[in-house]
A and B are shown apart, each in its own frame.
Chain A
Amino acid sequence: MKGPIGVGTGLRSVQARRLRESRNLASLGRRVWRSRGGLIGGSIVIVALCAAAIGPYLLPVDPIEVDLGNRLAPPFWQAQGSAVHPLGTDHLGRDVLARLLHGSRISMMVGLVTVVVAGSLGVSLGLVSGYFGGTLDAVIMRAADVQQAFPFLALAITVVAVLGPSTRNIIIILGVGGWVLFARVTRAEVLRAREEVYVEAAGSIGASNVRIVVRHIMPNIASPIIVLASFAFSLMVVSESALSFIGLGVQPPTPSWGSMLYDARNYLEAAWWLPSFPGLAIMFLVLGVNIFGDWLRDYLDPRMRVL
């Protein structure tokens, strides 16, 4: 935003106030309830979280138990389907619904952990880069340029080639690889915040660099980073599913939405439900997070652009 200083600080204070408000859960809840995007997106996210948290208890079926007598059973509404396996079974007779519910845990766990890792790394480097500038800034930003010369997935695949595929390695690769997103946004925000009067004021009364960064800059740049985290979560869930789909992510028999699609690739003609449901689950979760993220951005940070 290139505008008069007054406009910038005005929006800043709106952001800071809304961020403070959002710590009060009741008032945040009211805001969400009143908005269409927040309500729809938030509901989808909560449904998905509940499915992951309690779904496996409501449906106590072993997701990796093989039942070869019952292979490729269709969902219940089709002629050969039965209520025992509501969404059918896969090529080894495993229950699709149970695998979806257990898979949601893996997919969301990978998404959350990678966002936390990428966020911590990226925000720290972005803070250092933006606040101190100089050689360190140049080095960090050139490293970011280099990494962004690779499509995210291409780099992840190459590292899998060396480390070998496993759930743990996927988390490491996606987490470490995601730092650039957070570092760029954090750096840009720090550069902006550093020029603000309150930073100068804090410096002139003798606050240390650490104190200025932690107490004054971080709360003021938190909004765009929270918004970014929601979109990064979508990116990570989709990346995990893509890697697992090509057999380089979560390994069988562990169910994840991506590894279910991997298993389904040879049964497109025989069993439409095998590729359909895991993909719908990914779409449902990502759509919910994206709608909620859009709302969050409009709410916390009106000047941010759709990217």
Chain B
Amino acid sequence: MVFGGSWVAGYLVKRVLQSMLVILGVVTLMFLVLRLSGDPVALLLGMEATPEQVEQVRRNMGFDRGIHVQYLSFLTSLARGDFGRSIRFNSPTLSMVLERLPASLELAFVSSVLATVVAVPLGVVAAVKRNSLLDNISMFLSLLGQSVPTFWLGIMAILFFSVKLKIFPTSGSGSVKHLILPTLSLAAYSMARIARLTRSAMLDVLGQDYLRTARAKGLTERVVIYRHALLNASIPIVTVVAFMFATVMGGAIVTEVVFAWPGVGRLLVEAVHNRDYPLAQTCVFFIAIFVTAVNLVADIVYMAIDPRIRLGE
């Protein structure tokens, strides 16, 4: 770290700039998607609008101007924090989304952490005890976990634990009991992916010479596996964990609907059903910001664990 100090700073600045470029791209894509339908005003107003209303809105929102002018004014209003108003609720979309954001982040964080904490040790043990009963069972379960649609697992969990056994509430949020079923059903898929990848990354590493050296030095098996092997297998593991975080944000949209969880995902689906495009746009914007931030963090973690990246080789 000491020798690579200025390089590290340069790398960080470069990555942050790249992320900002991605955000600009995200904003541009949102701008373009609204124009896919041809006439954004018809979309924003719905079928019942009179021609006078359409003309009024067209002028108010500046749709009569050139597309580059519209794009620039779109960018400047976003920069000022003006994300537009919800068509249905007529309140600023920004505050509506920010209000729902904590619930979504809670769900995403708890299930991602849960998945990682369970799956990484499971993958390590499966690799170390290759072809054992534990390995076979956990790999079969993870194949199954990868094949079950997340939202359907949630429905089945409600059917079994809430409707039949009446242990957990069917929907809503607010207590730990409310959190358990959505988190578990959301974590299952990530858990499966992370466990499988950890296993295969560990298998790649386990046959390497430096592990034989570490054992020859007289290190305990525990230190050999968790310090030497796992650390060297960690780059692909960090990649898949970061990727699963993003996937969880996507899966959470439908899971939030299943459990009536008051997050951004459910807000997004409701907005789309109400043809409330400005609200949907703001929801997706924040989901994209979150994913970009996770990717940035993953890159910084790579740098911390891999000296080759840190030293700029």
Contact = CB atoms under 8 A, between A and B. Distances in A.
Interface in B4-40: 18, 21-23, 25-26, 28-30, 33-34, 36-37
Nearest to B291: A149
Contacts of B148: 279, 283, 286
A275 interface: yes
Contact of B246 (A151, A247, A305): A151
Interface in B168-215: 170, 196-197, 199-201, 204
A245 B281 CA distance: 21
A213 B277 CA distance: 43
B33 A287 contact: no
Interface stretch (B50-58, B59-67, B113-121, B266-274): B266-274
A152 B246 CA distance: 9
Contacts, number: 151
A155 B284 contact: yes
B143 interface: yes
A247 B271 CA distance: 12
A64 B241 CA distance: 43
A154 B268 contact: yes
A161 B287 contact: no
A241 interface: yes
Q: Is the interface of B mostly helix, strand, loop or mixed?
A: helix
A146 B155 contact: no
A275 B30 contact: no
A157 interface: yes
Task: Tell me whether chain A's interface is mostly helix, strand or loop, or mixed.
Answer: helix
Contact of B143 (A154, A155, A290, A307): A290
Interface stretch (B93-101, B222-230, B249-257): B249-257
A276 interface: yes
A148 B148 CA distance: 23
Interface residues of A, number: 47
Nearest to A307: B197
B277 A275 contact: no
Nearest to A294: B143
A161 B272 contact: yes
Interface in A262-295: 264-265, 268-269, 272, 275-276, 279, 282-283, 286-287, 290-291, 294
Nearest to B193: A307
Contacts of B37: 162-163
A158 interface: yes
Given A155-B284, A162-B33, A291-B143, A150 B26 contact: yes
A294 B144 CA distance: 13
A116 interface: no
A67 interface: no
B240 to A, nearest CB: 7
Given A151-B250, A306-B196, A146 B269 contact: no
Most buried by A among B277, B280, B281: B280
B250 A269 contact: no
Contact of B147 (A245, A247, A287): A287
B33 A261 contact: no
Contacts of B25: 142-143, 145-146, 149
Contacts of B156: 275-276, 279
A153 interface: yes
Counting chain B CB atoms within 10 Å of each CB, the highest count among A161, A245, A272, A287 belongs to A161
B102 interface: no
Interface in B213-264: 236, 240, 246-247, 249-251, 253-254, 257
A155 B147 CA distance: 22
B71 interface: no
Q: Which of A158, A238, A305 has the most CB of B within 10 A?
A: A158
Contacts of A276: 156, 159
B19 to A, nearest CB: 9
B22 A149 contact: yes
A140 interface: no
Interface in A145-177: 145-155, 157-163
A292 to B, nearest CB: 12
B149 A283 contact: yes
B158 interface: yes
B310 interface: no
Nearest to A145: B22
B149 A306 contact: no
B152 A154 contact: no
B275 interface: yes
Contacts of B83: none
A170 B267 CA distance: 21
A242 interface: yes
A146 B26 contact: yes
- 9 residue pairs, one from A and one from B, having the closest CB atoms: A151-B250, A146-B25, A279-B152, A287-B147, A286-B147, A153-B250, A161-B272, A306-B200, A149-B288
Interface of A: 142-143, 145-155, 157-163, 234, 238, 241-242, 245-248, 261, 264-265, 268-269, 272, 275-276, 279, 282-283, 286-287, 290-291, 294, 305-307
Given A149-B26, A246-B269, A248-B273, 10 more contacts: A149-B25, A157-B268, A241-B152, A246-B253, A247-B273, A275-B159, A279-B149, A279-B155, A305-B200, A305-B236
Interface of B: 18, 21-23, 25-26, 28-30, 33-34, 36-37, 43, 143-144, 146-152, 155-156, 158-159, 163, 170, 196-197, 199-201, 204, 236, 240, 246-247, 249-251, 253-254, 257, 268-269, 271-273, 275, 277, 280-281, 284, 287-288, 291-292, 295
9 contacts: A161-B277, A268-B159, A269-B163, A275-B159, A279-B148, A283-B148, A290-B147, A305-B200, A306-B197
